[in-house]
């Protein structure tokens, strides 16, 4: 909800703070007082195109601040989250325009782009009338509005899920086909490369194993000499094992004469056994080395082949086994009879069929809701002096290339203002006043379906009066029970329905005229509506008629005491 508009140095406005309330806020005033300037300023704060002519004469820059307080719609919350912006309450939009035409935008004092400001503004407020209109006149919003009216939330989620599953299945099938086509183009190369790798048969961890063996073989002679010498020291004629055995025999002869030597004898026997075991192990190791079929030359040749083929395929040598397996798979795909591709294609077709089933269910629900929506809106048109007009909600199928997570339907709101006329987009068939009343009728029906919480109507009373103006006022008042409504009007019947009445006037004082806004209390409302009824001279009869309008059926209660706002 819009709570406050602060305008500084915009055309005829010096500095002005305008408060707003829930319900129906009405603006009245003489022609030329500056009501359109207020709307221009509001539009500027919401991202409208800037113009240096908006800057008040003699000033360096114009500034407009719009303050909103509300529970954000899911669309607004998602947009701010997408942009990494923090949602504050109140939500403050500010726009400045310098006299050279340069413009800056802010959200809660955070600089933002004007395009983002406009997107935020479209989710907060709509203007209907002679000024730029968003929301209902934008065909991109029609599908969501119809879906909200039809309450298709759960069904839309199922459609979105099935669409995502279909696209995943299509992507998997297309990827497999692309790989197959690529593999088929490489069949000859793959066959040759695979034959080389099959002959070489690289093994996991082979590079490391061969490297260690090669290092050992490169020092073979030194190792053999050292092991042979060590063996002779352990098991030769005067080796350690024989010497220890002889020492044991000597000690054993003294065992009965020196019992204390038993522990020493046990140690000598253990050392003798360890020496003999070590000698046997050395002998076996020497035999293994001498009988090893892998010569240094053989190992180096194997390493050379492995590294050469790795360079050929631009991979690391230790990844050859995995590459070998992958190459075999690619070759198999190239030679495949298409069974796997057919299976993937079948899954994609099944996913598409599932999506279409859900989308067609959604389409049927939309078609039923479209009839109800069109009938409901058309029932609102005659009292608004649009008795010859018709409203149509068109549900047409999209080409397959445009199917998406929202379904397969194109939704369009069309209208005709005269019987027999061909329906067309609203902005092409209605004048400013007719368009505002069309928007009012649509909004009365769709008030709970739109994420926008504030509506502005300008020229909604153009070309009407009497009972039609009363009907417009009733609908504006009814609409204001669900959303905040701002209306600029010359109609006393509409002004009398306001819960918050603001009078716009121009003060001819000083070098430049100034636009002021008064918040009217009950007595001033009577005078203002009497002026609107009587014209040049306000009479007691006009005042009585004004009181009658204000106190008529469903009369709102004033929301504020009289205030004067000025520069």
Residue 521 CA: distances (Å) to CA of 270, 526, 561: 118, 9, 5
Q: Are 17 and 6 in contact (CB under 8 A)?
A: yes
Tens digits of per-residue pLDDT, 141-158? 889 889 988 989 899 999
Peptide bond into 90 cis (omega under 30): yes
Token representation of residue 6: 């602060």
Residue-level pLDDT at 74:
74
Task: Average pLDDT across each block of 10 residues of the chain; the chain has 567 residues. List them in order.
Answer: 93 92 92 88 90 89 91 79 82 92 91 91 78 62 88 92 95 86 74 87 86 71 70 73 77 74 80 80 72 68 86 89 86 70 91 96 95 92 87 94 94 87 81 76 79 82 80 88 90 92 87 89 92 84 90 58 47
- Element holding 15 (H helix, E strand): strand 13-19
Per DSSP, 5 falls in state E
Residue-level pLDDT at 224:
64
- Element holding 345 (H helix, E strand): helix 339-380
Residue 188 CA: distances (Å) to CA of 46, 72, 182, 191, 499: 65, 63, 12, 5, 84
Number of neighbours of residue 259 by Cβ within 10 angstroms: 9
Residue-level pLDDT at 380:
87
pTM score: 0.62
Helices marked H in 16-152:
35-45, 74-82, 114-122, 142-150
Residue-level pLDDT at 131:
41
Distance of CA 126 to the CA centre of its chain: 23
Cβ neighbours for 417, distance < 8 A, ≥ 6 positions apart:
386, 388, 389, 429, 430, 434
Token representation of residue 198: 């099959």
Report the SS3 class of residue 351: helix
Residue-level pLDDT at 369:
94
Q: In sequence order, what DSSP letters do the residues of 353-419 get, joined into one string?
A: HHHHHHHHHHHHHHHHHHHHHHHHHHHHSGGGT-TT-EEEEEEEEPPGGG-BTTBSEEEEEEEESST
**CA separation for the pair 440, 442 (Å, rounded):** 5
**CA separation for the pair 46, 39 (Å, rounded):** 11
Residue-level pLDDT at 560:
46
Residue-level pLDDT at 102:
92
Residue-level pLDDT at 164:
95
């Amino acid at each position: 909800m819009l709570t406050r508009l602060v305008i500084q140095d915009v055309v005829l406005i010096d500095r002005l703070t305008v408060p707003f309330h829930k319900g129906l806020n009405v603006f009245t005033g003489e022609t030329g007082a500056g009501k359109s300037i207020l709307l221009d300023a509001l539009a500027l704060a919401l991202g409208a195109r800037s113009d240096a002519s908006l800057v008040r004469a003699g000033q360096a820059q114009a500034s407009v601040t719009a303050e909103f307080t509300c529970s954000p719609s899911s669309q607004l919350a998602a947009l701010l989250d997408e942009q990494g912006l923090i949602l504050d309450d109140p939500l403050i939009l500010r726009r400045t325009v310098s006299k050279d035409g340069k413009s800056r935008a802010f959200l809660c004092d955070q600089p933002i782009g004007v395009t983002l400001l406009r997107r935020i503004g479209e989710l907060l407020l709509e203007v209907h009338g002679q000024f730029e209109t968003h929301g209902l006149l934008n065909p991109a919003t029609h599908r969501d509005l119809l879906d909200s009216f039809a309450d298709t939330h759960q069904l839309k989620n199922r459609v979105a899920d099935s669409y995502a599953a279909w696209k995943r299945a299509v992507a998997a099938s297309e990827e497999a086909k692309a790989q197959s086509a690529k593999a088929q183009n490489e069949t000859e190369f793959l066959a040759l490369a695979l034959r080389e790798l099959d002959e070489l048969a690289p093994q996991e961890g082979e590079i490391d194993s061969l490297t260690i063996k090669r290092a050992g073989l490169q020092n073979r002679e030194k190792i053999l000499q050292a092991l042979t010498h060590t063996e002779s020291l352990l098991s030769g004629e005067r080796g350690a094992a024989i010497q220890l055995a002889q020492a044991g025999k000597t000690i054993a002869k003294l065992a009965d004469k020196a019992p204390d030597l038993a522990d020493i004898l046990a140690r000598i026997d253990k050392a003798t056994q360890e020496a003999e075991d070590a000698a046997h192990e050395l002998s076996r190791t020497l035999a293994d080395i001498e009988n090893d079929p892998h010569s240094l030359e053989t190992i180096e040749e194997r390493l050379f082949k492995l590294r050469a083929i790795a360079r050929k395929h631009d991979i690391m040598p230790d990844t050859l086994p995995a590459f070998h397996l992958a190459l075999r798979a690619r070759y198999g795909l190239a030679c495949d009879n298409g069974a796997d591709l057919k299976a993937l294609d079948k899954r994609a077709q099944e996913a598409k069929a599932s999506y279409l089933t859900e989308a067609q269910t959604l389409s049927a629900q939309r078609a039923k809701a479209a009839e109800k929506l069109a009938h409901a809106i058309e029932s609102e048109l005659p009292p608004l002096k649009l008795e010859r007009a018709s409203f149509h909600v068109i549900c047409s199928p999209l080409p397959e290339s445009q199917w998406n997570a929202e379904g397969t339907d194109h939704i369009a709101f069309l209208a005709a203002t005269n019987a027999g006329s061909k329906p067309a987009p609203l902005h092409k068939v209605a004048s400013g006043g007719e368009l505002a009343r069309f928007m009012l009728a649509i909004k009365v029906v769709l008030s709970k379906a739109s994420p926008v919480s504030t509506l502005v109507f300008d020229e909604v009373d153009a070309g009407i009066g009497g009972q039609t103006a009363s009907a417009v006022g009733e609908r504006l008042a009814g609409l204001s029970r669900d959303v905040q409504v701002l209306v600029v009007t010359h109609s006393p019947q509409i002004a009398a329905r306001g819960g918050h009445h603001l009078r716009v006037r121009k003060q001819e004082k000083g070098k430049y005229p100034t636009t002021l806004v008064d918040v009217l209390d009950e007595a001033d409302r009577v005078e203002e509506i009497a002026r609107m009824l009587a014209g040049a001279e306000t009479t007691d009869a006009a005042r009585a008629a004004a009181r009658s309008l204000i106190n008529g059926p469903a009369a709102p209660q004033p929301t504020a005491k009289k205030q004067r706002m000025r520069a």
